[in-house]
Amino acid sequence: MSIRDSEITRAIPWAEIAGPLVKAEDAVARLDERLARSPVRDGFVERFHFHDAAAVLWLEGELVHVEDLVLHDAHMDIRTPTHELTRAHAALRARRQVFGNAPDWALGGDGMRQLAGRSAVQEPAKGSGEGEGASPPEAEADEPIEIDEPDPLTEEFAAIDAVLARSSAVIEGVPVERRPRSAAISERDPLVYDPDWDERARLDDWRATVDRTVDLPPVLAAALLWDAWEDISPLQHEPWLGPLLVAAMLRQRRKTAVHLLALNMGLRVIARERRRHRDRTSRLLAFLDAASEAAALGLKEHDRLALAREQMFRRTRNRRGNSKLPLLIDYVLSRPLVSSAMIEKELKVTTRGALNLLAELNLREVTGRGRYRAWGIV
């Protein structure tokens, strides 16, 4: 599938979008400027990673609680993770990966390969069938030595090594597609993937749209890229990647220099009828309003965190120099909620010590339970 150039480059209805565009540009710039000099910037950015990842599933009609996502990220689930929770965590890892790299990484070749993680952005394998998904040097060193008779023990150790390699890749955030695998993985199951869905061609069409919008204002370019992503649907199983790449474009063009705009949180506020409207202008207006809403929500959350930080740091006066209370404050600001086990792991304290520190900050207990409790900022 391809889109005609006229669908992107045709005359933009400036009369309808000029006002909302100026409002969105101003709101996004104001939030970024506020965060640039804010002492709660790091905590704000980390918190909004969680909120935006949960909003991804909300837009797809699934409910994922931010609390469950926080506990799952800390490997402290209180129940078996659902498929939706796993997908939300994948979106969370992707946001962290985009923000942790250079601003132009996500839309570059290597970034797109890792984020999309499919043959849609991979070059065709060259040479022998061992080219795709080549194993790292350490995996080659662990290959069993050929002998006349198969050694069951060697095969068992090789299987264990493969499991450990995959587990290490997950912990380090390496996408699944970059892990050691056989060439047979390139043959997609027709029950899972549509054989006629050419992801590579669709993604090339969308990337061409990126090139055609470089001279437009950043937020307007973001609206056009988002609308093109919704129209083209490059990836079958990662539709949530579109808003993330759009936010990465805003960061690449220095519209958001110190944070990654949580577009999904803004889109969640906009009615579905507006986001899916048949009229292109209505969809663009919906996105501009979503960008304004995302920035407004960010400003409110920033002011709330700044006030909470000031109130909590008042409790650190006359404390010992090696007190872990300031570290706890920073940790609480970076998570929507914390548990005693999370504090024990992060601050290297005992359970009793974690509870004592929590009591000193007078945080709100959010679960209402006697066990598996969690606390958050009032």
Q: Please give the pLDDT value at position 252.
A: 95
Query: Which CB contacts under 8 angstroms, 24+ apart, belong to 271-279?
Result: 275/230
pLDDT digits (tens, 9 = 90+) for 318-371: 777 778 999 999 999 999 999 999 999 999 999 999 999 998 888 888 877 667
- Residue 365 is given by DSSP the state E
> Which residue type sits at 377?
I
Instruction: Please classify residue 133 by burial: count the beta carbons closer than 10 Å to its beta carbon, then call 0-12 exposed, 13-18 middle and 19+ buried.
Output: middle
Q: Read off the pLDDT of residues 176-231 as tens digits, 9 standing for 90 and up.
A: 444 444 333 345 666 656 666 778 888 889 999 999 999 999 999 999 999 999 99
pLDDT value of position 366: 82
All structural domains of the chain:
5-124+186-300 (1.10.3290), 137-180 (no CATH), 317-376 (1.10.10.10)
Q: Is the pLDDT of residue 41 over 90?
A: yes
Sheet holding 374-376, edge to edge: 338-339, 374-376, 364-365
For 73-101, the pLDDT digits (tens) are 998 888 889 999 999 999 999 999 999 99
pLDDT at 122: 46
Lowest average pLDDT, out of 10-19, 113-122, 274-283, 286-295, goes to: 113-122
Q: Supply the pLDDT for residue 198.
A: 77
CA distance 342 to 78: 13
